[in-house]
Amino acid sequence: MKRFSWSPAAGLLAAALFTQACSSPSTPATDASGTTAATDSTQTAAPVAPANSPLQVVAQFREPQMVGVAVLPDGRVFADFPRWDNNPVMPIAEVAPDGSIKPYPDANWCTWNETLRNEPQKHWICPQSVYADKTGMLWVVDPASPGLRATVPGGPKLVKIDPKTDKVVQTISFPESVAPRKSYLNDVRVDTQNQFAYLTDSGLGSLVVVDLRTGRGRRVLSGHPSMLADTTLNIKADGKELIDPSGNSARINSDGIALSADRQYLYWKPLTSYNLYRIKTEALRNSALTDAQLAGQIEDLGKVPACDGMEIDAQNNLYLTAFEDHSIKRRTPAGKIETVVQDPRLEWPDTFAFSGDGKTLYVTTSAIHKTATWNKGIGQQDQPYYIFKMALK
């Protein structure tokens, strides 16, 4: 997941978000009542599934835009719809087996408007990712930056939900020293054994380390080269360079994150970069180490495909959502890059989740490159946003 420049519509959203109530998303594309396309989009022929594709459709949505997915050990599925260029009524939703959705954990948490501005810790403002840990707890990262413009004061947070009761059991608020106004907290991985969480900030480029026992977060390695986009690259999707409304090439900082199976290493990479990095989590947990000392422990693992999301399996294979060529790639522990699946329906594969037994991989498509931001104000989305799953070999 990522922070992108905003479209003109997003600028209007930022000004209006506090004065309007949530609007309802369109009916899921799988619903028999029909679907509607985005009003600012130009429809073209949608990609067709190859005959031998291992991808199975779990759910599909025409609008609003979806980015994240989480899967609990019992099979429950959750999705994330950030408030970027729209105002979804269900920014965090549970996805039923029939593809329908309901607000999670309840409608009150999913509501954000002017009347609630004094309760930024009790509502989803612009949730960016949803993640299931090894114990079956659900975590939501809310950078609280609607329209991708700036954080709402008091809004950035990491929230823990117990799916057994569907209740919030812990809310960790991040002050501006940890989540500055131009930050965009992006993705999270949770070490349930050591009780630490690790987040990327794709807005300014850094990691955030959270002691879950105390609820305190630390901002580390902010602005370090390993956290920043490679400005020498012009990343493409569908063969087209990503250019924002101001004429600038995409520059997205630390984004994808993964925790090794033994919890000993944290992996990350900037989205618009081909470099992969890791560091020992023991070092990150040591609050006595300075950024300079931490920087000395960063390992450059060399080149990998440009990707958005990352995840690691029990054998420490690192999976990458390779959006440049509609594929999922895998980096083996030996450093070999393999193509797991290539399918034209993988329009900007975004976020991964594993099933409880680790044998099934879930992935979302967010079609970032088809949105109005990267197409001179006119959305080009030609298919639903998907949640796929596939059996791993």
* Residue 42 counted as domain residue: no
Cα(318)–Cα(328) distance, integer angstroms: 10
Cα(181)–Cα(201) distance, integer angstroms: 12
pLDDT confidence of residue 279: 98
Query: Domain containing 301: what range?
Result: 8-31+55-391
Q: Identify the CA nearest to 150 among candidates 122, 182, 111.
A: 182
* Residue 385 counted as domain residue: yes
DSSP H stretches of helix in the chain = 8-16, 281-285, 291-295
> In sequence order, what are the residues at sequence separation of 6 or more whose Cβ sits closer than 8 angstroms to the Cβ of residue 248?
5
Q: How many domains does the chain have?
A: 1
The pTM of the full predicted model, rounded to 2 decimals, is: 0.90
Block means of pLDDT (10 residues each) for the chain, length 393 residues? Answer: 39 35 35 34 74 96 94 97 89 97 97 94 98 97 94 97 98 98 98 98 98 98 98 91 90 97 97 97 98 98 97 97 97 97 98 97 96 89 95 92
pLDDT confidence of residue 376: 87
For residue 310, list its beta bridge partners. Answer: 320
pLDDT confidence of residue 46: 85
Q: Look up residue 151 and give its DSSP letter.
A: P
For the record, the structure tokens of 154 come out as: 């008091």
> In sequence order, what are the residues at sequence separation of 6 or more whose Cβ sits closer than 8 angstroms to the Cβ of residue 28?
35, 59, 60, 61, 62, 99, 100, 101
* Residue 44 counted as domain residue: no
Cα(206)–Cα(347) distance, integer angstroms: 27
Amino acid (one-letter) located at 91? P
* Residue 335 counted as domain residue: yes
* Residue 49 counted as domain residue: no
* Residue 103 counted as domain residue: yes
- Sign for the pseudo-dihedral over CA of 156, 212, 136, 1: positive
Residue 236 is part of a domain; what is its CATH number? 2.120.10.30
CB of 145 closer than 8 Å to CB of 85: no
* Residue 46 counted as domain residue: no
If you write DSSP's letter for every residue of 62-84 in order, what string do you get?
A: SSS---EEEE-TT--EEEE--SS
- Distances from the Cα of 393 to the Cα of 30, 50, 219, 272, 359, angstroms: 28, 19, 38, 29, 8
Cα(111)–Cα(209) distance, integer angstroms: 28
pLDDT confidence of residue 43: 53
pLDDT confidence of residue 44: 62
* Residue 78 counted as domain residue: yes
